[in-house]
Amino acid sequence: MIAAPDLDAYFARIEWGGATSVGYETLAGILLAHTARIPFENLDVLLGKRVRLDVEALTAKLVHARRGGYCFEQATLLAAVLERLGFAAVRHTARVTIANPRDVSPRTHMILSVTLPEGTFIADPGFGAQSPRLPVPLVDRREVRVGNDVHWMAREDRWWVLRNRAGDKVTNCWATTLDADNLIDFELGNHYTSTHPDSVFVNHVMMCAHATPERITIIDRNATVHQASGPVVRALADRRELRALVAERFGFDLPEVERMRVPGVPEWA
């Protein structure tokens, strides 16, 4: 049985004071607030800490400690919140297709589908910079837009594919058959993602925050601020500068970052 989340603490964390009734307005508002306040980050993986998916641990980390997390953490917490409010949220695995085609990609992503009177929507709070910040209708090629980011679901035989357009670039983000997976499936995917030596999360710093005046992403030593005029990239000198930037722009401080091993950055390994 899944533990009930602390709704008051969660709403305070995402600064949500809007509707809580079951409907599109609530779902869209909570998802937008969640992605604005809870950043995407994989620092615990790089620090060799266990990534737990029980609601108590997620509440302690993402809510009370004001940390972020990656897809398994964020989607698990959001699903528990939605279910506490009365939504029918179904958990699904997906195959990330940014770098590899789906026939060779493992199920290392977690998403939710939510059925409402207005239709069925995809909620994906944990895909970093390319997360759709509003629910995406499960309708072939119906677009949703936040700022310059456009997302839509595309049907390919038995697969649903999330696509993102930023400027002129279109990305196939992930693909899923929308099977209703068992909870243990997410534990297995989480274990692979957080421990396998070939996992991108084990080898690289991967972070994104939407809550700053401009979205900021960090990939290894490169910090990118996405301004209206275009992205501005700067290289971080060392892990001390990384720690300071995380405290300034992501809202939490981890002294361990200064000693963190990052295999993808040889001088930080």
Residues marked as catalytic = 71, 109, 124
List CB contacts of 81: < 8 A, sequence separation 6 or more: 5, 7, 10, 30
Closest CA relative to residue 206, chosen from 131, 123, 129? 129
Measured between alpha carbons, how far is 189 from 89 in angstroms, rounded to an integer?
19
Measured between alpha carbons, how far is 176 from 8 in angstroms, rounded to an integer?
33
Name the DSSP letter for residue 177.
Answer: -
> In 146-182, which positions are buried (b, 16+ CB within 10 angstroms) versus exposed (e)?
eeebbbbbeeeeebbbbbbeeeeeeebbbbbebeebe
User: Counting runs of H as helices and runs of E as strands, what totals does the chain give?
Assistant: 8, 13
List CB contacts of 103: < 8 A, sequence separation 6 or more: none
3-class secondary-structure state, position 179: coil
3-class secondary-structure state, position 146: strand
CA 214 to chain centre: 17
Tokens of 14: 């995402």
Closest CA relative to residue 131, chosen from 211, 67, 201? 211
